[in-house]
A and B are shown apart, each in its own frame.
Chain A
């Protein structure tokens, strides 16, 4: 099946710095990428939806200037957490919709971000 490669799998950064998370579709073109955040013992919360070549659509309450999403190509979408703070520590997961695949969605392996 279709694979989304997500990197890094974990990252520790200092408060105030920025962190970039990459998701690459390895054998298909990801027209749409979904970015989720998951706090401990909570469900996946959709942060934003990005479409190749256009601006991302952010969910209510998600700061677009803090969580920068770039989807410049059909195989790469990135999420940059700018000026990270401890409360941004979470598990970030990307997901792409795959036409014709059972279930229709494939998830990246996730990135554990810890801001100290």
Chain B
């Protein structure tokens, strides 16, 4: 069974610090990786997508992927109170035709303390 593991937290960081969120996945053949932010009572919103090994930066967010270690992480620089939310790691095992289902981790709750 394909699994995506995250530390549920809560992860508390002071405002302005770097928040580091981690995720591991079991399916070595996974090709697409996503980080979603979910505020309480709302649906997930995409923060980052990453498909190849290495780092991908977008503003204050950096996604890191290491397929050999089956590990994907999200760094949030200069954390703001508005970043307080649950961050979901999601994995899609297929890159071509076929199933496009996402498997979600349980999420890490982040609290940024002013």
Say yes or no: is B93 at the interface (Cβ < 8 Å to chain A).
no
Q: Give the segment of A41-49, A71-79, A80-88 that binds chain B.
A: A41-49
Judge if B54 is at the interface, Cβ distance under 8 Å: no
Given the contacts A43-B88, A43-B107, A107 and B102 also touching, CB distance less than 8 Å: no
* Interface status of B69 (Cβ within 8 A of chain A): no
What is the bound-complex CA distance between A49 and B106, given in angstroms? 20
Task: Note all chain A residues with C-beta closer than 8 A to B44.
Answer: 44, 93, 107
How many residues does chain B have at the interface if contact means C-beta atoms less than 8 Å apart? Answer: 20
| Bound CA–CA A105/B45 (angstroms) | 10
* Contact call A104/B32, Cβ cutoff below 8 A: yes
Instruction: Report B3 CB to chain A, min CB distance, Å.
Output: 11
Q: Is the CB of B43 within 8 A of A110?
A: yes
Nearest residue in B to A108 (C-beta to C-beta)?
B43
- Is B41 on the interface with A (CB-CB < 8 A)? yes
Query: How far apart are the CA atoms of A6 and B42 in the complex, in Å?
Result: 12
Across the interface, name the chain B residue whose C-beta is closest to A1. B46
**Could you pull out 21 A-B pairs where Cβ atoms are within 8 angstroms?**
A6-B43, A34-B101, A43-B88, A43-B107, A44-B88, A44-B104, A45-B104, A49-B101, A91-B41, A93-B43, A95-B102, A97-B100, A102-B46, A104-B49, A104-B92, A105-B34, A107-B43, A107-B44, A108-B43, A109-B42, A110-B43
| Extra pairs beyond A43-B104, A46-B103, A110-B43 (20, CB < 8 Å) | A42-B106, A43-B88, A43-B105, A43-B106, A43-B107, A44-B44, A44-B88, A44-B104, A49-B99, A93-B43, A95-B102, A97-B100, A102-B46, A103-B34, A104-B92, A105-B100, A105-B102, A107-B43, A110-B42, A112-B41
